[in-house]
Every structure is written in structure tokens, then in C-alpha cells.
Structure 1
């Protein structure tokens, strides 16, 4: 069956890469696993094998979403006798994620053209967010999502993912591992939701403190002009302002976006212990939190 270029279909053919994806997902075998893009069934088969080999009394379920009706027929035929695999003819962007059991996980080789919209959906728009995501994405996207402060690859999507959880670059996957061969390499990444990280995942006390801070702000409601307390939506809004003119300094980009005088923004940055010469890409997630707290307090005082 010829892959559809319009749907971004590139089927993974390297079995060693499939094994790495399964190992990285670290499935217990009793989870609800959502696969975006069942494709030719290679990853679905690997996931099914993992579930069926589980020693637990309760077996997990694999929900394979696929948009191409030709592949739906093939997949349903192959897995018609499987009790753990359900093939769903559905666009992942309009799938009922909120209706899934809490604690579901995503394991997927995502079509390139919907990578960013899907990650934004999972990390910012859902109440019922996945517990973890093991994803095959373009290498360039993986580098952006894992970019550290000071890297030009760092952008708004990096901040969205860091607010959601801990992201790790697992492995580069060469283009030759797919059919048809795409023009770019891919990479496997793993993202774990912050509130589900154990002490063994965290490392230093500073990282643990960052996790607790982000979980706390994620639970707050949002009213940027009225609420003096920092929360997730407020941070995202400030980060959007900061990255709106990425090559400008924060002092200039925030001043223009927020319609505040440069002297006011300068004072806020100094209070947040952020150099006025820095750009948005230079800030850590803790910097964004501190900046938003101080900025929101300033706006709250102005409105009183």
C-alpha cells in the first residue's frame, strides 16, 4: 500500500528503533496507551506484544488512532481477534482525550505536520493530560523541545513543554529507518508529567523545588489583570510576549507587547534578577515564573 504524502505517512521499518520506543515508554502492561497514527501497524504490534507479555492480572488497552481509511481496514483486519487493541478512525486533533481514563499514556510516531499542534493540545489545552508521552518527532523539533537556556533553538513550545513536564532527548533516528525515506532525520523524546515524577527522576533539590513550584502554579485559576498570583496561563502569556520579537531583548519586547515604559520593564527585570540584556531564549523556566510573579504584582498594584 503506497503511503499518502498528504497525511505525512512515513512508516518506521527499523525494528531496533521500535524496541527503543517500547523500552523508553516503560509500560507496565496495564495502561491505556494511545497511539497517534497506527500506520502499517508496526508500533501497534510492538505495543500489543508488550501488553500481552505483562504478568499483571489486568491487561492494558491500546487505542490506535488512524485517519487513512485504507489503513483502518488493514489494521482492523489484523487485530480483529485482539482483546487489547482498538483501532479508531479518528483525527487526533478532535479525539475525545478528556474522556480517557486518567493516567493514560501516549506512544506515537507522529506525522510531522501535526506535531506542534498535538503537543500544544496535550500540554496546554487538556484538563485530562497524558501521564507521559514517548514520541517520534522531527529531529529539529526534538532539539527545540529540549533546548536549554541560551540556545537559539529555545522557543515558546519549549516553555509549554517544560511547564507540563520533564522532557528528554532519547535517540536520533536516521531518515533511512523509514519508508518512504523522509528528507530529514527524526528523534525519540520522552516527556513525563511533573506531578507524576518520583524522587529518582528529579536529581538535585533545585529541580525538585522547580517541580513543586510549577505544580502549585498549575492549580491556580487565571485572571491576568486582577489576580496578583502567578499561574500557568499567566506564564504562557508572558512567554508569548517575550518570544513575540525573539531577536530583541526582553526589555524591548515586553515593553512593546505590554505597553509599559522601558523604565518600568527595566525595574521588573532587575527585581527578578534577570539581566536587561537577555533575550527570551536565555531564560530558564524558573526565570519565567519569577518574572511573571513580579510583573503580575506590578499590574495588580496599577489596577488598584
Structure 2
């Protein structure tokens, strides 16, 4: 890969700029440029898209995205130490890489991007889930992005794609799968990173739906699933009692046994119950 873009290997870049990973920033660097190119390819054809990358660090994935033909990459990097290394990449790809030194949680990126937009990132562990939730709950749907190709701890990835009946199944799975299609496309061992984390990682590819899979009010569904999964060991007739005095009848109308527990119920029936609860929450 270094031969393709004429830039030094990542280990040399890290040594040159003194880029030891900082635990407080959730940094774990991927140094294998073959791997970063493979991750970039999981996002599909990039040639006609702007790509948003969060936490590029020394730029391994950034180089993969550009080498795989991304029309343009916007890289948001909080750690100013990484900026000189990213500037070298920008020089090798004139006009195709913009780097902003900012906290991704505090920046409105939409002014810097043109549709279609794909998000591809090895997300810092300490903000990954929060960013995902923000991207899935914008003020208006569909969102600014077409797809998300994101690296998470493997445990988080399993929660995103979990199915009813599994211990990983919960509110995150329901939210993602209600508004998008998600699948795990790669897994990576700890030794792929520097420093090596204590857990395996996985890349999840998420493609937005133009509209949610089943009709339901977003706020009611959020309240319903929070009540159900915050007390997941309880039967639903108990955990949902606070939502309606008629909850047992509504559960039965939705095709849900009142004695069932949250992890047994699929997305469609949760959405059905949310619609039945709507009159009780009006006003």
C-alpha cells in the first residue's frame, strides 16, 4: 500500500511524529495497510461519495479510503499530534482530503460534506456507541448518511446485529434494525492493533432504510423498549405496567404473551405495541 501512495509505512509515520496511542482518547491504531484497505472496501463503491472518517489517528484507514477511490474524505481528528501525519496524506491526494481538528461530538459535519455521504471509521472506543446513536436518531429521517461502516468492540457489534432470544439482544439492536440493515463484515484480533486492546473488534456495515421497517412513533418506541429492557428479567406485564393501566390487554392485542420477557419479543411486535400505546400517550 505504501508503494501505491508513495507515503511511508505507518510504523515509520508513528515514530516520526511521536504518535503513541492515548488511552484517554480511546486510541488503538491499525498499522496493516492491507487491513485498512480491506475495511474501506466493505463500504462499497466510494468513487462517487464523500466519506466521513472519525478519529483517523496516523491515517491508516484514511489512506485506504483514498486509495480505494473515495471522491473526498473529511477526517475529524481531536488529537492535534496527528495533524502533521494527516497533512502528508493530504499532500499525496490533492483536493481529496480535508482534516478538521475537532471533537466529533461537538461538530456539525454536514456543512463540510456533499451527498451521497458514507461514514467509515475505526471509532475511538470511548465515543463509538454515542456517535452511532446520534447518527440513528437525527431530527429528521432519512439522515445525511447512506451507510455506516464502523469498527467496534466485538461485543458492541454483536449487540447491534443481535436477534430475539439472545443475551446480546436489546435496545441497541432494535434501534439499529428498525431504521437500517446491519451485518458484521469483518472481525479483527487484538494483535491487529497498536497497542493491542483486551478484546476482539468487529466491523459492522449499516445501510439506512428510507423509512423505518415497521410504523411506530420514535419516542413511544424508545420509552417502551427502555422500560422493557431496563428490567429484562421481569415479565412484560410487570416491567411495562407504568406505561398503561391496560398493559396486559394491549400486550395480548399485539400478539405478545403478558408473561414473556423483553428478549423474546421481535421488532415487529414491539412496533405493534408502540402503536397501540399511542392513544394512551397522546397529549
TM class, shorter-length = 0.7 to 0.9
TM-score for the superposition, normalised by structure 1: 0.80
Please say which of residues 74-83 and 89-98 is displaced more in the overlay: 74-83
Alignment of structure 1 residues 1-304 onto 2, 5 Å? 1=18, 2-51=20-69, 60-81=71-92, 82-99=94-111, 100-127=113-140, 128-195=143-210, 213-214=213-214, 217=215, 230-255=216-241, 257-258=242-243, 260-261=244-245, 264-299=246-281
SS in 2 for 1:25: coil
TM-score for the superposition, normalised by structure 2: 0.86
Unaligned ranges ≥5, structure 1 = 53-59, 196-210, 218-229
- How far apart are residue 193 of structure 1 and its match? 0.3
Query: For 1:83 and 1:299, how far apart are their aligned partners in 2?
Result: 51
After superposition, the Cα gap between the structure-2 partners of 1:174 and 1:245, relative to the gap in structure 1 and judged at 3 Å, is same
Query: For 2:274 and 2:115, how far apart are their aligned partners in 1?
Result: 30
Q: How many residues align?
A: 261
Unaligned ranges ≥5, structure 2 = 1-17
Provide Cα deviations, 1:242-283, integer angstroms capped at 9, x if missing partner: 22212212111110x32x33xx21111110001222222222
Moved over 6 A (4+): none
- How far apart are residue 91 of structure 1 and its match? 1.0
8 Å CA contact retained: 2:180, 2:206: yes
SS in 1 for 2:186: strand
Query: For 2:250 and 2:170, how far apart are their aligned partners in 1?
Result: 22
Provide Cα deviations, 1:85-107, integer angstroms capped at 9, x if missing partner: 11111111112134343431100
- How far apart are residue 126 of structure 1 and its match? 4.9
- How far apart are residue 212 of structure 1 and its match? 6.6
8 Å CA contact retained: 1:274, 1:287: yes
Please say which of residues 112-121 and 11-20 is displaced more in the overlay: 11-20
- How far apart are residue 112 of structure 1 and its match? 0.7
Query: For 2:259 and 2:32, how far apart are their aligned partners in 1?
Result: 46
Query: For 2:109 and 2:223, how far apart are their aligned partners in 1?
Result: 24
User: In angstroms, what is the RMSD of aligned CA positions?
Assistant: 1.9
Query: For 1:64 and 1:247, how far apart are their aligned partners in 2?
Result: 42
Provide Cα deviations, 1:159-209, integer angstroms capped at 9, x if missing partner: 2211220000112110000011111110011000012xxxxxxxxxxxxxx
Query: For 2:57 and 2:191, how far apart are their aligned partners in 1?
Result: 17
